[in-house]
A and B are shown apart, each in its own frame.
Chain A
Amino acid sequence: MRPIFRVAKATYYEGWRKRFLNGILVFAILIIGSSWVFTYLQPGAELKMLIDVGLGSIRFFGMLIAVFLGTRLIPDEIEKRTIYTLLSKPVTRTQFLLGKYLGGLATVISNVALMGATFYVVFALKAPQFATMTEETGSQYSMEFMYGNIAKAIVLTFFELAIVMGIAVVASVVFSWILAAIFTFFVYFVGQMSEFFGALADPDQTASPVARIVLGTIYRILPHFEVFDVREAILTDVPVVWFPYVTMTVGMAVVYVSIVLALGYLFFSQREV
């Protein structure tokens, strides 16, 4: 465990030294911090705007950070030759891969936490206004309930990014980092529509059995990223409950990441550095 922790710790601090990631984080915090401005664009739907812009920004910028950090973690080690002094020590390739992944994930958690805290501050400042508005419109929004739901949304975003990060790290072992980034973006965006592929695989929707097999396979292989997005549920007062929804979704993420990393090990154990 110690080699994994050591590699993860070094990766975490190196992650914070990447200026372009810091740039993405600063920009994200500026957008989230000024999300209250967007509420004026759609009178009557201020809460929706705030939740959409705030939580949407955390997901989007978190995804950018996870992709760009994840696809650079191992290629940077190889390019800068820091990997030589690590793999020549009693560190197995599995420990190295896990250390890099967990260190990168810790950086992403920190980034998501900072973005989430910024959003909480903005939300807390606007909450009294929403409370008044809900009285006027007769809406049933409970502000106390809302804080909990936002926390659950951020937790789910974090686990969604854990999958994105895993795909990015493993793809970078197989492809060049640019190709790995393109691949990860592709999986992320197609994964947002996995339910759509599932629906298309239905015999009522698609006549061709071959097409149904292809669509069904895509549905089963791709991560179902849309289940991590609970903004609509928050805004329509559908309860986002810890059990079973959040725990089941988190469990799915853990299983998915484990499979992706196991695949990553198969590729990395054959990789020459």
Chain B
Amino acid sequence: MRSQRVWEVADIALAIRTENLTKIYDVGWGRQNMGIHNLSLEVEEGQVFGLAGPNGSGKTTTLKLLLGLIFPTSGTAEVLGESISSTSYKARVGYLPEGPYFYEHLNAPELLRMYGTLFGLGGPPLEKRIQELLELVDMWDRREYRVANYSRGMRQRVGVAQALINDPDLLFFDEPTSGLDPIGAKDIREVILELRDRGKTVFLCSHLLKEMEPICDNIVILARGELITRGSIEELLKSDEAQYRVEVREIDDATLATLTERAQKLMWLDDTCRALFDDRAQAFEAATMLEDAGARLLTVGPDRRTLEEVFIEAVGEESTDATDLQSG
């Protein structure tokens, strides 16, 4: 059993734990930039954990700290039970950086062979693994292409393959669908869900909230290096008002007037009319009335916020630039 459960917090094993992790960048001339500030996280094993935030919010800084690429100014962090100052936990970790770059003289199998040997892999098992992974990311037919000739999407696919070469227990994905077409992005999401089903932990950084929503179990939203909100997807998306929602388009004035009378709240989102009802029966009655009137019914169901709405609410209209600190 490769997975080594080290912390047990209320019978839950943690893959990542940070405590007041802070990173302040010295940018010269006495100026400092806040990367992240007092970040405390607990990521359970076997889940897809999302780290969301606008550009400059500290997502990549957090990833780099957890991988030992940069060093914390203060605070502590442990990955798979080991301090981030160690190297040995990296044998059980996979990492896909944002916009990955590789040695351009190599083709995909050579690249994966190079990374595989860094984990002590070799021989027929490694060759088999390389073929499986290249088939998984749909690069087997293009395996002879040199990295120098890759499109962004091809780099991303091979990047995913290299992150999986050691069959890691914990995967760090930084904007994994960046540069991929919709089919490629869907493939990657499926890979992530399959990894979770196999008990792996996935730490996902992205600003593409629509992509995170269906696959993340828990999420943290960062802004300007600070943790703004956290929780499970269910908790975050649950509407405070506990209402039912009907969304409709192409509605005539008379039907709209009737809907306005029946609904507790009515709002327009571009050309979509959203009506909120206190209970389920009222919502379904209104939906039947709308269909009979020939309107185009889009959704009927519990009023559930989108992650995007949660994000905008949490981050607000604040500047998305990293905080600029003036040192004493």
**Is this pair of chains taken from one and the same complex?**
yes
B-binding residues in A (CB < 8 A):
2-3, 6, 9-10, 13-14, 16-17, 80-92, 270, 272-273
In whole Å, how far is B160's beta carbon from the nearest beta carbon of chain A?
A: 12
Return chain A residues, CB-CB under 8 Å to B118. 2-3, 6, 86, 89-91
Chain A residues lying within 8 Å of B106, measured Cβ to Cβ, are 10, 13
Partner of A88 from B71, B95, B99 at Cβ < 8 Å:
B95
Most chain A beta-carbon contacts within 10 A, residue among B68, B71, B118: B118
Interface set of B (CB-CB < 8 Å, partner A) = 67-71, 87-88, 90-91, 93, 95, 97, 99-106, 114-115, 117-120, 159, 162, 166, 172
In the assembled complex, which residues on chain B have CB atoms less than 8 Å from the CB atom of A86? 118
Q: B305 → chain A, closest Cβ, in Å?
A: 35
Given the interface pairs A80-B101, A90-B87, the reply to whether A6 lies near B114 with Cβ below 8 Å is: yes
Q: Do A81 and B101 touch across chains, with their CB atoms under 8 A apart?
A: yes
Interface-central residue, A6, A16, A90, A270, by most chain B CB under 10 Å = A90
Chain B residues with Cβ below 8 Å from A16 are: 105
Given contacts A6-B117, A272-B71, A273-B70, contact A88 B93 (CB under 8 A): yes
A92 contacts B101, C-beta separation under 8 Å: no
Q: Which A residues are in CB contact (< 8 Å) with B67?
A: 84, 87-88
9 A-B residue pairings within 8 Å (CB atoms):
A6-B118, A10-B106, A14-B103, A14-B105, A81-B97, A81-B100, A84-B69, A84-B97, A273-B70
Residue of A10, A80, A89 touching B119 (CB-CB under 8 A): A89
The reply to whether A2 and B117 form a contact with Cβ atoms under 8 Å apart is yes
Contact between chains at A88 and B90 (CB < 8 Å): yes
Report chain A residues within 8 Å CB of B88.
90
Complex interface: chain B residues within 8 A of A10 (CB): 103, 106, 114
Which residues of B lie under 8 Å from residue A90 when comparing CB positions?
A: 87-88, 90-91, 118-119
Are the C-beta atoms of B69 and A272 separated by less than 8 Å? Answer: yes
B115 touches A89 (CB 8 A): yes
Query: Closest chain B residue to A12 by CB distance?
Result: B105
* Shortest distance between the CB of B107 and any CB in chain A (Å): 12
Which residues of B have CB within 8 Å of A85? 95, 97, 100, 102, 115, 159, 162
Q: Are B102 and A2 in contact (CB under 8 A)?
A: no
In the complex formed, the residue of A with least CB distance to B122 is A2
Docked pose: A272 CA to B72 CA in angstroms: 10
Give the Cβ gap from B248 to chain A, nearest Cβ, in Å: 48
Complexed CA–CA distance, A173 and B270 (Å): 54
Instruction: Point out the residues of chain B lying under 8 angstroms from A270, CB to CB.
Output: 71
B26 to chain A, nearest CB (A): 10
Instruction: Specify the main secondary structure of chain A where it touches its partner.
Output: helix
Asked if residues B93 and A13 are in contact (CB atoms below 8 Å), the reply is no
Asked if A13 and B103 sit within 8 Å, CB to CB, the answer is yes
B68 contacts A87, C-beta separation under 8 Å: yes
Give min CB distance, B174 to chain A, whole Å.
9
- B95 engages A82 (CB within 8 Å): no
A50 to B99, CA, bound (A): 52
- List of A residues within 8 angstroms of B104 by Cβ: 14, 17
Supplied contacts A85-B95, A88-B67, A89-B90, 6 more A-B pairs, CB within 8 Å: A13-B105, A81-B99, A81-B101, A82-B102, A85-B159, A270-B71
Smallest CB–CB gap between A186 and chain B, Å? 24
Q: Given the complex of chains A and B, what is the CA–CA distance between A90 and B165 in angstroms? A: 13
CB distance from B8 to the nearest CB of A (A): 26
A86's closest neighbor in chain B, by CB? Answer: B118
Separation of A13 and B105 alpha carbons in the complex (Å): 7
State A234–B71 Cα separation when bound (angstroms). Answer: 53
Name which residue of chain A comes closest to B115, CB basis: A89
In the assembly, what is the distance between CA of A15 and CA of B59, in Å?
33
Is the CB–CB distance between B103 and A88 below 8 Å? no
User: What residues of A have a CB within 8 angstroms of the CB of B87 in the complex?
Assistant: 90-92
Residues of A within 8 A of B99 (CB): 81
B171–chain A nearest beta-carbon distance, Å:
11
B124 CB to closest chain A CB, in angstroms? 18
Q: Whole-angstrom distance from the CB of B306 to the nearest CB of chain A?
A: 32
- Given A6-B118, A85-B100, A89-B118, verify A273-B95 contact (CB < 8 Å): no
CB distance from A103 to the nearest CB of B (A): 11
Q: Which residues of B contact A92 (CB under 8 A)?
A: 87
Q: Are B105 and A88 in contact (CB under 8 A)?
A: no
Chain B nearest Cβ from A220, distance in angstroms = 34
Please measure, in the bound complex, the distance between the C-alpha atom of A272 and the C-alpha atom of B33, giving whole angstroms: 15
Q: Give the residue name and chain of the A residue nearest to B163 (CB).
A: A85
A248 to B73 Cα, complex, angstroms: 46
Pairwise interchain contact A273-B69, C-beta atoms closer than 8 A: yes
Residues of B within 8 A of A272 (CB): 69-71
Instruction: Give 10 nearest A-B pairs by CB, closest first.
Output: A88-B95, A272-B70, A84-B97, A90-B91, A89-B118, A88-B67, A90-B90, A81-B101, A80-B101, A13-B105
Q: Which residue of B lies closest to A93 (CB)?
A: B87
What distance in Å separates the Cβ of A15 from its nearest Cβ neighbour in chain B? 10
Q: Residue on A with the closest CB to B66?
A: A88
Chain A contacts for B68, CB-based, 8 A: 87-88
A270 to B103, CA, bound (A): 25
Q: How many angstroms from the CA of A87 to the CA of B115 in the assembled complex? A: 11
| A84 and chain B: residue at smallest CB distance | B97
In the bound assembly, the distance between CA atoms of A82 and B162 in angstroms comes to 12
A2 to B126, CA, bound (A): 15
Complex Cα gap A163–B90 (Å): 33
Min C-beta distance of A22 to chain B, whole Å: 13
